[in-house]
Amino acid sequence: MPEQVVIIGSGPAGWCAAIYTARANLNPLCFEGAVNEENRQDGTLPLGQLALTTEVENYPGFPAGDLSGYLKSSLDEEHHWLADMHQKEGCSGPELMHLMRQQAANFGTRIETDDIVEVDFSQHPFKLKSAGGKEVEANSVIIATGARANYLGLESETKYKNVGVSACAVCDGALPRFRDKPLVVVGGGDSAVEEADYLAKFASKVYLIHRREELRASRIMADRAKNHDKIDIQWNSEVADVLGDDESGVKGVVLKSTKDGSTRELDAAGMFVAIGHTPNTRFLEGHLELHESKYVKWTVPFRTNTSVEGVFAAGDVADDYYRQAITAAGTGCMAALDAERWLAAQG
């Protein structure tokens, strides 16, 4: 018997799709991915990009700060145990992902810690094959394999990830470590300018590091960067090294001129890398429509349909614009409801 729904991926989109399809009695099977060097966030499970970070401050329902006093004043004594559950600060990325995974498992989601490496959407039921050699048939599929931020590839950059190096200004820009300090943004496209513009709200100054003499960003975005009094564009420059120490994290960067190779240092409390993302879609190439950028194409406005009927996509694998945990979870919910309705319509 084919599976009703197979979910591929294990970030907020995948687990949210699993929670909804499990509660709809579709008995989902989720391939959460194999554990490898790239996604081995807490050493045990592949838990999506969010598990690469420390504190998550913008996912609703997990406020930072001690809530127990507030809750105790608004709860009757019988429910004070609820307040005691909230004595910790916020929620870490890995913790949030473990909670989502557990919630999906609690409703009966079956989980395989394995990568899907082959798909055949040319016949129905669809056929899927995992790296571990498992073959499954599925009436519907939800793709939620996410994306990876591109980094420069410097050893020092890896060393200071989460202690000053980030690939997401909206996620991390408001953290106290970056407030009123000089920051560096690497890149020259629209997203680099957007990140610089966003960070300029908190930082004392933002250095935008670009390898060439002109930004790749659209004219309007480039002008915004050039005219911003807090954004200082460092032309013809690339980051050769990230400077810092174990106690305080990033303290600056070494810039190298792309013209004459000369180097200079810049003081900065953080480095935001904005040189694009790579969606995890290689195994889908030729099997459904992808954008030129390799993101999965959503084919119906405000739905999660793809170019193959019965195959849906959720989260960062199809969304190169919002790229947030909450939007990934939201589209995961949408994909689950879309799959449920599509299956019901097949009779």
Binding site for ligand FAD (CB under 6 A): 8-14, 31-33, 39, 46-50, 52-53, 56, 58-59, 115-116, 144-147, 149, 167-168, 171, 280, 283, 315-317, 323-326, 328
Q: Which residue's CB is nearer to ligand FAD, number 328 or number 339?
A: 328
Q: 109 or 280: whose CB is closer to ligand FAD?
A: 280
Residue 55 vs 205, nearer CB to ligand FAD = 55
Q: Which is nearer to ligand FAD, 95 or 205 (CB)?
A: 95
- Could you count the other beta carbons within 10 Å of the beta carbon of residue 75? 14
Whole-angstrom distance, CA of residue 267 vs CA of residue 122: 55
Contact by Cβ (8 Å): 256, 232: no
- The nearest distance, CB 302 to ligand FAD, in angstroms, is 17
**Whole-number minimum distance, CB 257 to ligand FAD, in Å?**
29
Catalytic residue, candidates 16, 30, 91, 171: 171
Q: Please, what is the minimum distance in Å from the beta carbon of residue 273 to ligand FAD?
A: 10
Q: How far is the CB of 338 from ligand FAD (least distance, A)?
A: 16
Q: Quick check: 335 and 17 in contact, CB under 8 A?
A: yes
User: Closest distance between ligand FAD and the C-beta of residue 214, in Å?
Assistant: 28
User: Per residue, what are the HEC states of 169-235?
Assistant: HHHHCCCHHHCCCEEEEECCCHHHHHHHHHHCCCCCEEEEECCCCCCCCCHHHHHHHHHCCCEEEEC
* Active site (annotated) includes residue 91: no
**Smaller CB separation from ligand FAD, 138 or 233:** 138
Would you say 96 or 208 has its CB closer to ligand FAD?
96
Catalytic residue list contains 168: yes
**Residues 260/233, Cβ–Cβ less than 8 Å:** no
Quick check: helix, strand or coil at residue 35?
A: coil
Q: Which of 168, 197, 319, 333 is catalytic?
A: 168
Distance CA 20, CA 173 (A): 32
The pair of three-digit structure tokens given for residue 175, joined into one six-digit string: 């953290």
Pairing state between β 205-209 and 182-186: parallel
**Residue 101 in 3-state DSSP?**
helix
Find the shortest distance in angstroms from Cβ 82 to ligand FAD.
25
Name the strand (E) or helix (H) holding 111.
strand 110-112
Q: What is the phi-psi region of residue 58: left when phi exceeds 0, alpha when psi lies from -120 to 50, beta otherwise? A: alpha
- Catalytic residue selected from 16, 91, 115, 172: 172
Cα(288)–Cα(53) distance, rounded to whole angstroms? 31
Number of residue whose CB is nearest ligand FAD: 146
Cis-peptide into 125, omega within 30 deg: yes
Residues catalogued as catalytic: 168, 171-172
